[in-house]
Structure 1
């Protein structure tokens, strides 16, 4: 017999919950939950068979297969031709996968994926790529392709925003790679809601995901972000796709980074580095040089450290300037560093090490627009400030690693071996690290310190 149950469905995003709530847990809309009766088939008696209990069951078209008999060779990643992007993807795009690339306006998302379709088309005569844009005309995309050198006869363009028409283009072109720019501009005519709304974005993504799984064509989606940096649209958007990448960059710098957030086929913490140029975008296989300033002679107030961005070690330079002030409240200006950690390090220097900075202005910054939020940069910042106060430069060829605690102790950081190996490869011959940090590369002189005072003394 049938038992009548009730659930509640959001009118905005179709999210279903068993009990009424005032605010939708999926899209955050208030007062959008409506009651939706559900008829559930149940067994008429405790001993009823499974066939009777599941009266609505349908025989599957493809039977379940033991995992040992499934061939995985057809789903191996295919390189895109852009090494830095392949690094983040885990070797390339997997057939039938859906990748979401999100980033702020103007950061270079369209330029990057236009280069992807160009490199993909160059693979061979059977590799056609289809670039669908809902934000520009085909002529505008061609202008950018001319500027970046991404013109190829097997790159197909379609300026379209209707989902059904896009599926028709796919049926006609038969591409082996599909780019949709962007998912927030696409419209599913048979679904209620405005373009870019929660319902539309979810419906379009679901349809494109079904297309990818059924045809084996990898789909790359461009997504917008909110002012907080999160992917615009329902949270389920990130659950529907296989890979989520964030494209980041400072508008004052040409450096761009693709950062993995979710990856079902590889590590989710990889980072790819790119440089945005007049003639397009290019990968940077060795980006550490962008974050170091090469000068003829040493200058007080500078120190070099090694950050781990995902699994990639990056050398960066911290600069500090300490100046006298006549103001009752000294200024603390920070750029590229965590202001809370800077304030903590300055307090430890003043209280534990007697470095006189309480009545001075302190300016701290990184070189090249690098963001240093990792605690391993604490010791480099502290020694840069101490160097600025003493007006004595940190020795050349020295790299500094360590987290500083409130008691003035220097704590170990993960991945010291990889960090020191990268520094040694770039010509650094000496390092200051926390105690018990492990073996150092051959030829590198390492000084282990247990507290901040010992680290400052080791500079003399």
Structure 2
């Protein structure tokens, strides 16, 4: 039988528990993921798990249950509303994660400023466990937040924070961050599995019972996932990642979980001197300036969320006289590049693997799908042959290991965007070309094998 103040070790990645510390988790295979936590006695556990059931609560047929429609509050930031599915749902719990310095606090402060202008009578509470009151106030004033019903509170103890929430009764609140907030009921260090789980559970119960829209800021690990137990992401309603190059000018807001909308939406922002500004029409935002007659560059079209974006893929192939060729990539997986180079060598008989190869996606974009394989190969051939490609040509298609060019999804949506932006030519799979050639103003060239790209350099 467990004794009071007994300790167990819990994996922060998968929740696996053991009585002794282990270097590697036998369940999820992660290293150094076990954290020590204290669990309660049997009597305490019984008291904690006692649930007061409502009178007459019984299982119901689906025909007897009335569906509930959610009333959403517009934030005044179109890109944020797009990601959340149309606005904020009262009583929802939204977790926002991102790298240090990426702009999470700036985004939330601007969001609160918009909400205070739209709903000046609604109370707003900003709880900061990492910054002082003066720091938060200075940033808030700089970003245009008025004095209306905006409260700033510097505290890390959940019990004190809970008292202020009940006193102020805000409509919107921010907890920055969940890893620094601790509960007096748990004798563990801040940021441990038990602390995060307990604070999130109590916060969730209060905001849902009182209709408060709450934003939780979460730290991330060096692998890019939100620090703490995976149950944290299961408990909240929405999980949003704020991504981008810390030293670049763009940021992307991506939802990976949303109980009140889909997870196929992406919001794009630009970091400027006066804060984050949304990019309302980002179709060509990631394209560099038109450089005529420049070898080693091609254009492609990817789907980010529900809208197409045009990206520029640059390649540099340099002769290497010292043995193994070097591979350097920015925005594309290095292993994927190695596969595409092998396809070029096998089916085009070009001695490319011995060369130094550099591939870059302009604007800091990260290509996670295979829709741009054809564009990468076109850029490599363009640099290898020192021959430029047309600026009005889009390359779109996945390339297999046998050299075949495959179709991509959501093609019709991308084709409409190409027509609106007056692109002249599209190189894609033969299957898509046969289906859409007569339906579009864009000249669609269908190729079955990647070797047919040779003809484009002869024109």
Q: 1:403-426 CA distances to partner (integer Å, 9 max, x unpaired)? A: 111111111111111222222222
Flag the 1:262–1:450 CA change in 2: closer, same or farther, 3 A.
same
- Looking at CA atoms only, which structure, 1 or 2, has the larger radius of gyration? 1
How many Å separate the matches in 2 of 1:188 and 1:178?
Answer: 18
Q: Does 383-392 or 146-155 show the bigger shift? A: 146-155
Contact 1:107-1:251 within 8 A present in 2 as well: yes
Contact 1:306-1:399 within 8 A present in 2 as well: yes
How many Å separate the matches in 1 of 2:263 and 2:291?
Answer: 40
Contact 1:330-1:361 within 8 A present in 2 as well: yes
* Structure 1 portions without partners, runs of 5+: 42-55
How many Å separate the matches in 2 of 1:289 and 1:371?
Answer: 15
- 1:380 deviation in Å? 0.4
- 1:33 deviation in Å? 9.6
* Structure 2 partner of 1:214: 209
Flag the 1:455–1:10 CA change in 2: closer, same or farther, 3 A.
farther
Does residue 436 of structure 2 align to residue 439 of structure 1?
A: yes
Does residue 256 of structure 2 align to residue 246 of structure 1?
A: no
* Structure 1 partner of 2:263: 268
Flag the 1:241–1:13 CA change in 2: closer, same or farther, 3 A.
farther
How many Å separate the matches in 1 of 2:10 and 2:66?
Answer: 36
Cα root mean square deviation, aligned: 3.1
1:29 to 31, 34, 40: 34
How many Å separate the matches in 2 of 1:247 and 1:61?
Answer: 44
Does residue 375 of structure 2 align to residue 346 of structure 1?
A: no
Flag the 1:177–1:390 CA change in 2: closer, same or farther, 3 A.
same
Contact 2:311-2:361 within 8 A present in 1 as well: yes
* Structure 2 portions without partners, runs of 5+: none
- The residue matched to 1:122 in structure 2 has which SS? helix
- 1:30 deviation in Å? 7.8
| Count of equivalent residues | 440
Q: 1:202-351, aligned counterparts within 5 Å?
A: 202-351=197-346
- 1:325 deviation in Å? 2.3
* Structure 1 partner of 2:420: 425
Does residue 58 of structure 2 align to residue 60 of structure 1?
A: no
Flag the 1:127–1:37 CA change in 2: closer, same or farther, 3 A.
closer
Contact 1:410-1:452 within 8 A present in 2 as well: yes
Flag the 1:10–1:420 CA change in 2: closer, same or farther, 3 A.
farther
How many Å separate the matches in 2 of 1:19 and 1:103?
Answer: 27
Contact 2:429-2:446 within 8 A present in 1 as well: yes
How many Å separate the matches in 2 of 1:156 and 1:386?
Answer: 59
* Structure 2 partner of 1:451: 449
Q: 1:234-272 CA distances to partner (integer Å, 9 max, x unpaired)? A: 111111111111111112212111111111111123211
Q: 1:297-319 CA distances to partner (integer Å, 9 max, x unpaired)? A: 23111100011223332110001
2:151 to 148, 153, 156: 156
* Structure 2 partner of 1:45: none
How many Å separate the matches in 1 of 2:108 and 2:143?
Answer: 12
How many Å separate the matches in 2 of 1:21 and 1:116?
Answer: 44
Q: Does 32-41 or 447-456 show the bigger shift? A: 32-41
Contact 2:290-2:391 within 8 A present in 1 as well: no
How many Å separate the matches in 1 of 2:232 and 2:388?
Answer: 51
- The residue matched to 1:368 in structure 2 has which SS? helix
Q: 1:52-201, aligned counterparts within 5 Å?
A: 60=54, 63=57, 70=66, 72-73=68-69, 75-201=70-196
Q: Does 448-457 or 150-159 show the bigger shift? A: 150-159
Contact 1:120-1:128 within 8 A present in 2 as well: no
- 1:279 deviation in Å? 0.8
Q: Does 437-446 or 17-26 show the bigger shift? A: 17-26
* Structure 1 partner of 2:362: 367
